[in-house]
Structure 1
């Protein structure tokens, strides 16, 4: 089944999303909206002129993924917040939805509270337009300030989750990849192994730029931190290519990422909730950004994803096309495995898409028929 709007939205502190709004606000297309702080419009599905969203449950049980887009974020017209959350563990679906509903409010209030810093940031010249800046390596005081504020909000989010007695997050958690777009400024915060991908045009060709690093335990710096804290990183016999994180004296929980919200059984053993933060100054060559869970990236390459999105004539179908391609690729590449949940948010930067090479009409028609078509994609 495709995505449907969830009304499991709780009240967040300082004017966040409230449950009763979720069933009372609809856009002109009848899609359900919620109202966030300072009038931000919150979407859990659907599309606008600039946004396409879609999620499909895999064959592993409950769909543990969650997505959201906040328009006019922080009460600022034209500002977008987009987030993708990949839950895992017995209560992963509850964790991902709780973080989805709570984290944006924390980030938006930090954005408001740092109004002076925000103005300085938005006017700052960071050099090369094509450069994606790792804020951790930047000596710019404004970017460093934003890194500190974002890290603080993630830390508070993790504390709130641990204190929530209604959600058992001891062996459950969620990743998070999110972006904040204000004018030509793009801030990316990543926690875990979901991914943000930028599409830019070089000549007549679509070109992918990976904005984040998949934070897996095998990355040297992540591995060393986990080992220093007493955690274990090792593969099991039935999955020799995957190196999860384990507790020092128990073969659990076997976490396939090195950073996440929740999973408090591992927080003393190297798992952290500190995001990597990046900055990119958008140019006229930049077309869109794709956020997706690892269910997509495990089977599709970056260039395949940007070409799929670039081939879709109707923007509202773009996220679904990526998900459908991923599902078909799962069945082709991993016929013996259960398909993972797949979730995509696409934020377009321009009112009209640039001309790009389109997939054949027959192929696009087969794909739009859904994941049960015989077409094999992702080659």
Structure 2
């Protein structure tokens, strides 16, 4: 059954969260829509401008999670790409922003690189505790992880923090030419990138198998492509790298130090009036679209429906790669879809520098999150 209960949650209030249910087309609550396995919010307002959001499912259970938060702290965007299951991404969506809020409150609401790094590390500690508490009943949680991409706009500064291979690309106006350049702001942690392989070799000089090339793909310990994540605790703690988890996840001892890191790469970018929009997306989008192509699509069309337009563009490319029509790909059900493309999440933030410079506070606060179950 192509049934989706509570596919997106939407809250625009200072108290509890509200929810919208999608049963096809546009919803009367929050403007969410549904098109097969594609869910979208075409356009909305936040404290830093306008946003557009879209998610397409490929796995049997959606492993991507995402959120947009806007209030006195500024604007917070999160894209969480799970692997091995949905549990880590769901946990991050539940806890990372809460830690961010609590830690920034300790510093009178000031956001710094340290604020974000501590929020990531607290989230990592929390998920590790969940794995520990459930070790006897659900040991497979030790093999679930997630990539995390966060953008936080505080005053007139954008902070970008990333673990894994999701990506944020800035569309920046080039003088008065009318052109918009594509500038990647996030650092990716994937073993297929040469610098990442060198980093791993430097950190593990006595392990000749720290990266292994298999079927044309570089993998950490021959298992996983990303070198940083939340979760994946079987590659971080000896006590989880043992039975009863599947043998393919158990690396030979000793595990003297974590193989994967949970420390994000953080970039601080002062916002400039020529900074037009930001594209946050899981790697499922970038597998099919270049930075330049994505920026070109956004800048050449109306803002409304921009995220959905990018997702569909990626699906058209995925279909073409398999010598099939988009209409045929669209009719393939989840799980089987994973053979053609990954779950894809896209959030586009159109920057309003007047609001950002004036320090306009979102009132009431805005909180939009992808659902935990679909």
Decide: shared fold, TM above 0.5.
yes
Give TM-score, length-normalised by structure 1: 0.68
Shift of 1:287: 0.6
DSSP 3-state at the match of 1:54: strand
Residues 20, 29 of structure 2: 8 Å contact kept:
no
Shift of 1:88: 0.3
Give TM-score, length-normalised by structure 2: 0.69
Instruction: Determine the C-alpha separation between the residues in 2 that align with 1:169 and 1:8.
Output: 25
The aligned residue for residue 125 of structure 1 is none
Change in CA separation of 1:190 and 1:5 when aligned onto 2, cut-off 3 Å: farther
The aligned residue for residue 93 of structure 1 is 86
Alignment of 1:160 onto 2:126? yes
Residue correspondences, number: 289
Instruction: Determine the C-alpha separation between the residues in 1 that align with 2:154 and 2:44.
Output: 17
Alignment of 1:235 onto 2:175? no
Residues 97, 119 of structure 2: 8 Å contact kept:
no
1:7-29 CA-to-partner distances (Å, cap 9, x unmatched) read 799xxxxxxx99x734489xx95
Change in CA separation of 1:228 and 1:106 when aligned onto 2, cut-off 3 Å: farther
DSSP 3-state at the match of 1:181: strand
Change in CA separation of 1:64 and 1:24 when aligned onto 2, cut-off 3 Å: closer
Instruction: Determine the C-alpha separation between the residues in 2 that align with 1:234 and 1:98.
Output: 30
The aligned residue for residue 107 of structure 1 is 100
Residues 87, 95 of structure 1: 8 Å contact kept:
yes
More strand by share: 2
User: Which of residues 285, 298, 307 in structure 1 aligns to 2:274?
Assistant: 285
The aligned residue for residue 135 of structure 1 is none
Instruction: Determine the C-alpha separation between the residues in 2 that align with 1:3 and 1:195.
Output: 27
1:272-299 CA-to-partner distances (Å, cap 9, x unmatched) read 1000000111111111101101111111
DSSP 3-state at the match of 1:48: strand
Residues 22, 32 of structure 1: 8 Å contact kept:
no
DSSP 3-state at the match of 1:208: strand
Shift of 1:228: 3.7
Instruction: Determine the C-alpha separation between the residues in 1 that align with 2:309 and 2:9.
Output: 27
Change in CA separation of 1:284 and 1:158 when aligned onto 2, cut-off 3 Å: same
DSSP 3-state at the match of 1:277: strand
Change in CA separation of 1:32 and 1:228 when aligned onto 2, cut-off 3 Å: farther
Of 209-218 and 319-328, deviating more is 209-218
Of 45-54 and 195-204, deviating more is 45-54
With CA pairs under 8 Å and 6+ residues apart, which has the higher RCO, 1 or 2? 2
Shift of 1:334: 5.0
Shift of 1:66: 0.7
Residues 68, 82 of structure 1: 8 Å contact kept:
yes
Unaligned runs of 5+ in 2: 22-26, 33-38, 237-256, 325-338, 355-374
Instruction: Determine the C-alpha separation between the residues in 2 that align with 1:3 and 1:187.
Output: 34
Shift of 1:304: 0.4
Unaligned runs of 5+ in 1: 10-16, 34-43, 122-145, 353-379
Change in CA separation of 1:155 and 1:351 when aligned onto 2, cut-off 3 Å: closer
The aligned residue for residue 70 of structure 1 is 69
The aligned residue for residue 220 of structure 2 is 245
DSSP 3-state at the match of 2:94: helix
Report the aligned-residue RMSD.
Answer: 3.2
Instruction: Determine the C-alpha separation between the residues in 2 that align with 1:2 and 1:297.
Output: 28
